[in-house]
A = this chain, B = another copy of it.
Amino acid sequence: MTESPGKIVLGPHQYGKAENRVVRIYRDTARHEIRDLNVSSCLRGAFDAAHTDGDQSAVLPTDTQKQTIFSYAKEHGDGSIEEYGLALARHFVDDIAPVESARIEIEEYAWQRVPVNGVGHDHSWTRVGPEVRTAAITVRGSGSERREWVIGGVKDLMILKSTGSEFADFLTDEYTVLEPAHDRILATSLIARWRFSTPPEDWDAAYVGIRATMIATFATLHSKALQQTLYEMGVAALEAYACLAEIRLSAPNKHHFAYDLDRFGVRNNGEVFYAADRPYGLIQASVLREGAPEAGIAWDPYTGTV
């Protein structure tokens, strides 16, 4: 076969322990706190021989990574996921010789205190969702080569507006049968990820604020397209948080079709909708701050879930 006579070689590779379900209770006082986390570690470096020769001498077992994740949860797991991830990533790069870069991906599930006689209970909670806070921390190199990237985010953030959204004056071709819509439901299950250029004063407060800024924009902007809404949400977040370098948004357009009730003599005045599962529009966009530090390997993925 003459088409592709090239030598066959190992390409990029990485490995780690995915989805360690860590629950960290703060109980130094009677009023407990809870951090409910899903932590994945990923190492990159001089692991070629494990692939090409089955030689494990440079391979730190994924079980060891798991032990480290749980042990570090004692000292670092009761604060923000960005700080916990930084501690883990720095450890793997600094203390494990073959590691050139480490990526830590974390999901956090939120809980709220059970109200008892109007007061939040000390040690009982209900889960709040479906949205999930995310972080992806990457640390690479040492000395003057050292670089650290922190990405925060949210996923499965379901937002809906029942008016104030249209879609019209679009391009048409011979397959276009869609009618323009001047008052429709706009709904999505948002994935947003933002890259920090500098650490915020308070990681947890930054998460709350960025999220709030985006959904307030979603609520108040009259939407001419989901594309426009996403862009303005990103702009609002970057304007409010100078510590952000960029934001990436991925949003399914969860279609709600007005149901045809005329045939039953019933007038549907934008009141009854069929919420479709599939297919869905899928809109993806990014908003950047010019002159911000470069992304480097910040976005190189691992589990694909954050």
Contact = CB atoms under 8 A, between A and B. Distances in A.
B67 A281 contact: no
Interface in A229-288: 230-231, 235, 238-239, 242-246, 248, 252-253, 256, 259, 261, 263-264, 266-288
A50 B223 CA distance: 11
A58 interface: yes
Contacts of A55: 169, 224
30 contacts: A4-B197, A4-B289, A5-B291, A7-B290, A9-B289, A10-B231, A10-B287, A11-B248, A13-B284, A17-B279, A21-B275, A22-B274, A27-B163, A32-B163, A51-B230, A54-B224, A55-B169, A58-B171, A61-B176, A62-B253, A64-B173, A67-B175, A74-B272, A114-B159, A114-B218, A121-B220, A124-B161, A126-B158, A127-B131, A127-B158
A238 B124 contact: no
Contact of A115 (B57, B212, B267): B212
A18 interface: yes
Interface string A124-137: 11111111000000
A68 B186 CA distance: 24
A142 interface: no
B114 A216 contact: yes
Which bucket holds chain A's interface residue count? 35 or more
Interface string A42-78: 1000010011111111111111101110110111011
Nearest to A212: B115
Contacts of A266: 71, 74-75
Given A51-B285, A288-B8, A168 B27 contact: no
A120 B46 CA distance: 37
A27 B163 CA distance: 9
B244 A4 contact: yes
A282 to B, nearest CB: 4
A267 to B, nearest CB: 8
B286 A60 contact: no
Contact of A227 (B47, B68, B230, B286): B47
Contacts of A223: 54
A144 interface: no
B5 A172 contact: no
Contacts of A263: 177
Given A11-B287, A266-B71, A171 B215 contact: no
Contacts of A198: 3-4
Contacts of A261: 70-71, 74
